[in-house]
A and B are shown apart, each in its own frame.
Chain A
């Protein structure tokens, strides 16, 4: 999912630096206003968990690999803005310390994984949870994980297709990216359900922490 440097032209890189930068600055400002004592360990734990989850690449049938991306889980537990801040920490460390994802493409990667995925996870979890209760929340967590990964890949396809570096249009890049992530997204959905069931059973107070 991480776009390296060399895939996107400077125009797309700058556009997504501006969009993601504005969203992350607003998210950080909001988190700064609303973070309480309980948010602090959750923010650090969740960031470390997502970083570790992304380390593990699992082979899946068809010659591809997949890994947990975690953006939707961040949105479910911390809210769309708190989740964006946690994902921004993960993605910035990955790019600067490990060269995972480009420096010029960081704005685009932040948009896909720190903005779109947490927002999707938060919306599906809250909406289905409000309508159907506990089972709805679990279904929302699964749906948010899958849809968050698919929508993030859709945006990655758009960014690649709109880039002037190569000649393939978005009519090719978007289906190509989305096709692979229709399956990969299930990993995020399943991890979300597992984490949420564990939290509901052993640490239900975490779900009471206000979403930011």
Chain B
């Protein structure tokens, strides 16, 4: 059941290693900002963070803010999301089985 999951996560990690530097390079060359940021800038809105995340803005401790930091933090994120989603889905299913056994 989980063979497909492992293969897909491996493919996603490989894609991050290739595509994150590619998109960063394109952004550096062409330039550009996200639509939300452009609208916010036009309306004089400024971000006021109330919380500092451990990998704030896809940086990575020791690697700074470069492309390599984005790649590593992206891979960390993929694993965190996959493990959390897997755990949640298993809790859904196993929790139901546990409750039905008790009933």
| Interface residues in chain A, defined as those with a beta carbon under 8 Å from any beta carbon in chain B | 1-7, 28, 31-33, 35-41, 43-45, 47-49, 51-52, 55-60, 63-67, 85-86, 89-90, 93-100, 102-104, 153, 156, 160, 165-166, 168, 172-173, 176-177, 180-181, 184, 203
14 contacts between A and B (CB under 8 A): A4-B47, A5-B51, A6-B49, A28-B92, A32-B92, A32-B96, A40-B89, A41-B4, A63-B33, A63-B38, A67-B34, A97-B54, A97-B80, A98-B57
Evaluate contact between A89 and B47: CB separation under 8 angstroms.
Answer: no
Q: Which of B2, B44, B77 contacts A98 (CB 8 A)?
A: B77
Q: Which of chain A's residues have a CB closer than 8 A to the CB of B35?
A: 1, 64-66, 153, 177, 180-181, 184
Given A45-B4, A55-B20 in contact, is the A99-B52 Cβ separation under 8 Å?
yes
Q: Which of chain B's residues have a CB closer than 8 A to the CB of A203?
A: 4
Evaluate contact between B26 and A5: CB separation under 8 angstroms.
Answer: no
Q: How far is the CA of A66 from the CA of B74 in the complex (A)?
A: 17
Evaluate contact between B15 and A52: CB separation under 8 angstroms.
Answer: yes
Evaluate contact between B48 and A44: CB separation under 8 angstroms.
Answer: no
Q: Which of A48, A95, A153, A172 contacts B85 (CB 8 A)?
A: A48
User: By DSSP majority rule, is chain A's interface helix, strand, loop, or mixed?
Assistant: helix
Apart from the given pairs A52-B74, A166-B44, 5 other A-B contacts in the complex at a CB distance below 8 Å: A4-B47, A47-B81, A86-B85, A98-B73, A99-B55
Q: Which of chain B's residues have a CB closer than 8 A to the CB of A63?
A: 31-33, 38
User: By DSSP majority rule, is chain B's interface helix, strand, loop, or mixed?
Assistant: helix
Q: How far is the CA of A63 from the CA of B27 in the complex (A)?
A: 10
Residue ID in chain A nearest B29 by CB atoms: A59
Q: Which of chain B's residues have a CB closer than 8 A to the CB of A7?
A: 40, 45, 47
Q: Which of chain B's residues have a CB closer than 8 A to the CB of A165?
A: 45
Tell me the total A-B contact number using a CB cutoff of 8 A: 191
Given A6-B46, A47-B81, A55-B70 in contact, is the A156-B92 Cβ separation under 8 Å?
no
Query: Nearest Cβ distance between residue B59 and chain A, in whole angstroms?
Result: 9
Instruction: For chain B, residues 63 to 81, give those with C-beta under 8 angstroms from any C-beta of chain A.
Output: 70, 73-74, 76-78, 80-81
Evaluate contact between A98 and B53: CB separation under 8 angstroms.
Answer: yes
Q: How far is the CA of A204 from the CA of B17 in the complex (A)?
A: 28
Q: Which of A65, A90, A94 contacts B27 (CB 8 A)?
A: A65
Q: How far is the CA of A56 from the CA of B57 in the complex (A)?
A: 13
Evaluate contact between B49 and A99: CB separation under 8 angstroms.
Answer: yes
Q: Which of B47, B77, B95 contacts A55 (CB 8 A)?
A: B77
Evaluate contact between A103 and B50: CB separation under 8 angstroms.
Answer: yes
Q: How far is the CA of A104 from the CA of B78 in the complex (A)?
A: 24
Query: Nearest Cβ distance between residue A35 and chain B, in whole angstroms?
Result: 4
Q: Which of chain A's residues have a CB closer than 8 A to the CB of B95?
A: 32
Q: Which of A32, A41, A48, A153 contacts B1 (CB 8 A)?
A: A41
